[in-house]
Amino acid sequence: MRIRSSLVVLAWLAVLLTAPAAAQDATPTALAPDPALCTLNPLTPEDLQRIADSMATPAPTSTPITGNIVLPDGEELFTSEREELEKDIRRAIACVNTGEPLKALAAYTDAWIAQFLVAQGGLDDELIAGLQVNRDLLPDQYLQLLSFGDGARMSESRVAMVVVGDDPVDDREPQSRLFVMEEVRPGRYLIDEVVPIES
């Protein structure tokens, strides 16, 4: 079944951004990133078409992490890297809290968006129209960012960090995921993968 409304798109993105487990060595953060923190320009239909036209075979879906959280092998983050990464994750959640799907998608890499488009059955006028319909979220509907956990540099351009978040509109407990971020330019990270963590 195709995604046909911005409401469903935002709910889908919310699920990705918020599977139960506690982050290790968590650092407290602000509860709900304000939409004003989203400084990214929204994607355009032309951006989506460019990504769709350049799509390669999508990568396999990530296997959920079970049991203890173990980060992929990697180097410890410098303090400056960690601060920038936390800022960009906070900004990504703020973009979802705008209620604008095209702003939310701007926080993801082209590779992730390509997989998203494949999951929706490909890009067409109906999907583009659905992504352009914005939803006015109230503050009590904003995704909440509860804490940041362990982080590591996985490669020259990819880093990973455990993030605990909560969606106040559902009745689930706060949940944790491993965010894999791509450094698309110095000091600017976008979401490249979100791996569920199962208890």
What is the per-residue pLDDT across 158-179, written as a single tens digit (0 to 9) for each? Answer: 999 999 888 888 777 877 888 9
* Residue 37's pLDDT band (cuts 50, 70, 90): very high
Ranges of each domain in the chain = 6-198
What length does the chain have? 199
What mean pLDDT comes out for the span 24-51?
Answer: 82
* Residue 195's pLDDT band (cuts 50, 70, 90): confident
Q: What phi, psi does 20 have (nearest 5°)?
A: -65, 140
Angstrom distance (rounded) from CA 112 to CA 105:
9
The pLDDT value given to residue 199: 58
The position carrying tokens 């890297």 is 81
The pLDDT value given to residue 40: 94
Angstrom distance (rounded) from CA 61 to CA 123:
19
The answer, as to whether pTM is greater than 0.75, is: yes
Does residue 184 contact residue 158 with C-beta atoms inside 8 Å?
no
The pLDDT value given to residue 96: 92
10 burial level (CB within 10 Å; 0-12, 13-18, 19+): buried
DSSP states of the chain as a string? ----SHHHHHHHHHHHH----PPTT-EE--SS--GGG--SPPP-HHHHHHHHHT--SPPPPPPPEESS--PPS-EEPPHHHHHHHHHHHHHHHHHHHTT-HHHHHTTB-HHHHHHHHHHTTS--HHHHHHHT------GGGS-EEEEEEEEEE-SSSEEEEEEEEE-TTS-PPPEEEEEEEEEEETTEEEEEEEEEEE-
